[in-house]
Amino acid sequence: MEIVKTENLTFEYIRRDEEDNVEGITTAVDNVSLSVEPGQFIAILGHNGSGKSTLAKHLNAILYPTEGTVWIDGNDTKDDSKLWTIRETAGMVFQNPDNQIIGQVVEEDVGFGPENMGVPTKEIWERVEESLKVVGMYEYRKSSPNRLSGGQKQRVSIAGVLAMHPKCIVLDEPTAMLDPVGRREVINAVRGLNDVEKITIILITHYMDEIVNADKVFVMDRGHIEMEGTPREIFSQVERLKELRLDVPQVTELAYILRQRGLPIPLGILTIDELTEALKKCR
Ligand code: ADP
Ligand code: MG
């Protein structure tokens, strides 16, 4: 069974004036149908305002469809009796780590989720330890979150979600506020969750270089899914991506320009090694 499935999902934000008359409607997600299999690493790309966050909020029952249906591990998000099951199945990590950390001490913060779920105390500590180790933050367990870098805080947020033992984690631009070092730390931690822990990952980003290892990429524009495919399939379409106001990874762009200048380089180069190999064959 799919871990995440949406069928014809449409969501409208409705603006009203003081008299409660409808002033305007924004269709933020427009007829989106997608399926995610357990264990997949999915990336969702899109320019600002393309509907990524609105879609993400449906996967955690923060928002409900205006039309269509969302199932998380088979549970319809509109079914109130399944709300906590859904939130435990699909954890969310947001952009700003400062809004997600509430504890005074790292290990206490990570324990909040399982504590709220009613997990027995002994097991909470086991989960906290295990989660902090997975994201490489165990040695900071006694630290105050205020003293951590952005990348470290974001990894603590991820540990907090992980401690709830979700099957799926949705990360909404988790690196947008981080410096390059922090970005790499977080992306490596996310890859580990998928590779080692086999957790389904849905990573929303507009950094193309974060998604080269994804199993599948969806590109959103104006609420629609505009493109869908493997990273290589997506990055083969440089012009289309530019139309959608997205950048391609530097190495992909360089390969594309060299190809335009007449060098026999294949489309969809994703890594420096691939470009090096292709260039060797040009001689
Ligand atoms: P993204 O995450 O891709 O930047 P969003 O899902 O945040 O896109 O936004 C999609 C569209 O919905 C945009 O046009 C945005 O202005 C609008 N929107 C987002 N949040 C709200 C809101 N709370 N009220 C009204 N419109 C909103
Ligand atoms: Mg967003």
- The residue whose CB lies within 8 Å of the most ligand 1 atoms, and thus the one to mutate among 9, 10, 12, 26, is 26
pLDDT of residue 250: 87
Give yes or no for a contact between 56 and 37, defined as CB atoms under 8 angstroms apart: no
Question: What band does 71 get if pLDDT is binned at 50, 70 and 90?
Answer: very high
Q: Tens digit of pLDDT for each residue in 256-280? A: 999 999 999 998 898 899 999 999 9
Give yes or no for a contact between 185 and 136, defined as CB atoms under 8 angstroms apart: yes
pLDDT of residue 148: 94
Q: What is the CA radius of gyration of the chain?
A: 20
CA-nearest residue for atom 5, ligand 1, is 51
Q: For ligand 1, say whether the CB of 266 is within 6 Å of any of its atoms.
A: no
Q: For ligand 1, say whether the CB of 58 is within 6 Å of any of its atoms.
A: no
SS3 117: coil
Q: For ligand 1, say whether the CB of 54 is within 6 Å of any of its atoms.
A: yes
* pTM above threshold 0.85: yes
Q: For ligand 1, say whether the CB of 219 is within 6 Å of any of its atoms.
A: no
DSSP 83-101: HHHHHHHEEEE-S-GGGT-
Q: For ligand 1, say whether the CB of 77 is within 6 Å of any of its atoms.
A: no
Tokens representing 91 are 């954890």
CA dist., res. 268 & res. 262, Å (int): 16
Parallel, antiparallel, or unpaired for β 41-46 and 200-205?
A: parallel
DSSP classification of residue 147:
G
Q: For ligand 1, say whether the CB of 53 is within 6 Å of any of its atoms.
A: yes
Q: Tens digit of pLDDT for each residue in 89-145? A: 999 999 998 888 888 999 999 999 999 999 999 999 999 999 999 999 999 999 999
Query: What domains can you pick out in the chain, each with its CATH number?
Result: 4-248 (3.40.50.300)
pLDDT of residue 210: 87
Average pLDDT (173-197) is: 91
Atom of ligand 1 at shortest range from CA of 173: 2
Q: For ligand 1, say whether the CB of 46 is within 6 Å of any of its atoms.
A: yes
Ligand 2 centroid – CA 264 distance (Å): 38
- Rounded (10°) angle between helices 180-195 and 121-134: 120
pLDDT of residue 268: 84
Ligand 1 centroid – CA 194 distance (Å): 28
Q: Which ligand is nearest to the CA of 44?
A: 1
